[in-house]
Chains A and B, each alone.
Chain A
Amino acid sequence: DAKTTQPPSMDCAEGRAANLPCNHSTISGNEYVYWYRQIHSQGPQYIIHGLKNNETNEMASLIITEDRKSSTLILPHATLRDTAVYYCIVRVGGGTSYGKLTFGQGTILTVHP
């Protein structure tokens, strides 16, 4: 699976949009971009995933560049409860990978009052 690069930490004011970047310049055509987050003392939580089109759900939006070499996770109105480590993961969606996730260091997002 392709390697991802994320900033180690970011800050955001409560109520503002949090934009978390991720670089995955070696992504292959059959690899999806997944985002998970991990709040302190909890297991990781799935947020969103996409292949090439932008995606939106009740938690966040995922913007993938046209060349698919980078993406941005957007939390439109960050709250204090969004403080967590955010992981960007690139993974083969089909074939024999059987859903294996390879976690990096992630980005520590701190939302301030």
Chain B
Amino acid sequence: EAGVAQSPRYKIIEKRQSVAFWCNPISGHATLYWYQQILGQGPKLLIQFQNNGVVDDSQLPKDRFSAERLKGVDSTLKIQPAKLEDSAVYLCASSLGHDRTSGTGHEQFFGPGTRLTVL
């Protein structure tokens, strides 16, 4: 089974520039997540999609970050304009969805991440 694919793996930009990241989840996974991981910290959820609808974007800095999941499969995360503090690893994860009773089906599979450096 193919895992979660992300590209690019590394990106270096200057502040105020724009950048986009791409994620292809595991086939059949309805739920897709974008996380931001700053060096030395645990991942922080930015946005969560259920199929092509947004479930949770409460921690997404909407003045500069945007994300979409057209057709409920691939997703892109964009930063425009980038700031120095956006330097981090951006992780994409997917899962089958949620089971209201058993707690199963929630296992999240993570991609390798995109390491963004803003200069």
Contacts and interface: CB of A to CB of B under 8 A. Distances in A.
Interface in A64-104: 85, 87, 91, 93-95, 97-104
Classify the interface of chain B: helix, strand, loop or mixed.
loop
The range of chain A's interface size is: 20 to 34
Interface stretch (B14-22, B60-68, B70-78, B102-110): B102-110
Nearest to A97: B98
Given A94-B100, A95-B100, A102 B45 contact: yes
Interface in B44-83: 44-45, 48, 50, 55-56
A94 B111 contact: no
Given A94-B101, A94-B103, A103 B42 contact: yes
A99 B41 contact: no
A93 B108 contact: no
Contacts of A95: 100
B110 A43 contact: yes
B31 interface: yes
In this complex, the member of B48, B99, B107 whose beta carbon has the largest number of chain A beta carbons within 10 angstroms is B107
Contact of B112 (A42, A46, A51, A85): A42
B112 A93 contact: no
B112 A94 contact: no
Contacts of A94: 98-101, 103
Given A43-B113, A93-B101, A100-B45, 19 more contacts: A32-B103, A42-B110, A42-B113, A43-B4, A43-B91, A44-B93, A46-B109, A91-B106, A93-B99, A93-B106, A94-B98, A94-B99, A95-B100, A98-B31, A99-B33, A99-B95, A99-B108, A100-B48, A101-B108
19 contacts: A42-B110, A42-B113, A43-B93, A43-B113, A44-B43, A45-B110, A93-B103, A93-B106, A94-B100, A95-B100, A98-B55, A99-B31, A99-B33, A99-B97, A100-B56, A101-B45, A101-B108, A102-B45, A103-B44
